Amino acid sequence: MKQTVRCQCGALYEREEHQTVVRWRDAFNCVVCGREIEDWSRSRRAIFRLIRRPVSLPERPPSG
C-alpha cells in the first residue's frame, strides 16, 4: 500500500512497505533537509521516493 508522507520542510514523499524475511532496523532522513522522517525495526521495509521538493529550501543553522 502506498502512502503520501510530508516532511516538516515541505518535501513530499511516496512511501511503500515491502515484506521481508529478515527483521530490518533502519531509518529514513529527508534528502532535502536531513530530518529523520521515520525509523523502524520490523520485517516490513519502508521505501521512500521523493515526489516533490518544497517551494523554498528550509534555512539551516550555521555550522561551527
Residue 24 is predicted with a pLDDT of 77
Structure pTM? 0.75
Q: What is the mean pLDDT of residues 43-62?
A: 80
Q: Does some domain include residue 19?
A: yes
Q: Does some domain include residue 31?
A: yes
Residue 40 is predicted with a pLDDT of 86
pLDDT greater at residue 52 or residue 57: 52
Taking only the tens place, the pLDDT of each residue in 6-37 is: 999 999 999 999 888 888 788 999 999 999 99
Q: Domain limits at 41?
A: 2-52
* CB neighbour list of residue 49: distance below 8 Å, 6 or more residues apart: 13, 14, 16
Residue 60 is predicted with a pLDDT of 62
For residue 10 the three cell numbers come to 515541505
Pairing of strands 36-52, 2-6: unpaired
Q: Does some domain include residue 63?
A: no
Dihedral class, residue 10 (left if φ above 0, else alpha if ψ from -120 to 50, else beta): left
Q: Does some domain include residue 8?
A: yes
Mean per-residue pLDDT of the chain: 87
